[in-house]
Structure 1
């Protein structure tokens, strides 16, 4: 059985702090369409309380991690109105080695974001 796992965190680069309270959902992209495999909300450290995919549950596949950033941006007063520039940020990535740790962070501001494969 594979021993890899998936983690994430969100950093608010505009304020220079971890982004707590960001809802997110993880989907595995199969031939039959996307399947939700996890959901969580970031804690005060901008991390989830547990890995999104714990050891033994990761498999080689394509995934989409959707951060519902509008909730956080509105709560922190960084965005207002019905339509936001970044209401949700989807990140698609592929897992090729189900025995590795994949870390997919989000660096967020109201008008931009970046990501990378972390460790």
Structure 2
């Protein structure tokens, strides 16, 4: 079983993105396994959750943040789909966000 954390960085301001709701789903399902909101460091730790090997979707609900900080919203949400393996103890998924783009990578 693996643990999970994520964070969002507002690359246009070079600061953590605070207050973005994040939901975790098993890929293809509609029932959230866990929810959170980015803290002062732009991070969410899903401490109470252990992930079995499977395919998951992290949904970052960016609309309110984008409207507040960019005065418009091109991407109201960003879904990041990823696979887990039993050999990995922890997954960290960063989201780099600006007004007209987002990107992600496997963090450490």
Normalization by structure 2: what TM-score? 0.90
Does 1:40 find its partner at 2:40?
Answer: no
After superposition, the C-alpha distances for 1:43-62 in whole angstroms (9 at most, x for unaligned) are 111012xx22546x211010
Instruction: Say whether the 8 Å CA contact 1:23–1:71 is kept in structure 2.
Output: no
Which among 18, 21, 39 is matched to residue 20 of structure 1?
A: 18
Instruction: Say whether the 8 Å CA contact 1:6–1:54 is kept in structure 2.
Output: no
Question: How far apart in 2 are the matches of 1:79 and 1:37?
Answer: 31
Does 1:69 find its partner at 2:62?
Answer: yes
Q: Which has the larger radius of gyration?
A: 1
| Moved beyond 6 Å, runs of 4+ | none
After superposition, the C-alpha distances for 1:75-94 in whole angstroms (9 at most, x for unaligned) are 22x033xxx31110011111
Gap regions ≥5 residues in structure 1: none
Q: What is aligned with 1:79? A: 71
Judging changes above 3 Å, is the alpha-carbon distance between structure 1 residues 98 and 60 closer, same or farther for their aligned structure 2 residues? farther
Count of residue correspondences: 108
Question: How far apart in 2 are the matches of 1:104 and 1:114?
Answer: 10
| Post-superposition offset of 1:113 | 0.8
Q: Which has the higher strand share?
A: 2
**Alpha-carbon RMSD:** 1.7
Judging changes above 3 Å, is the alpha-carbon distance between structure 1 residues 98 and 34 closer, same or farther for their aligned structure 2 residues? farther
Normalization by structure 1: what TM-score? 0.82
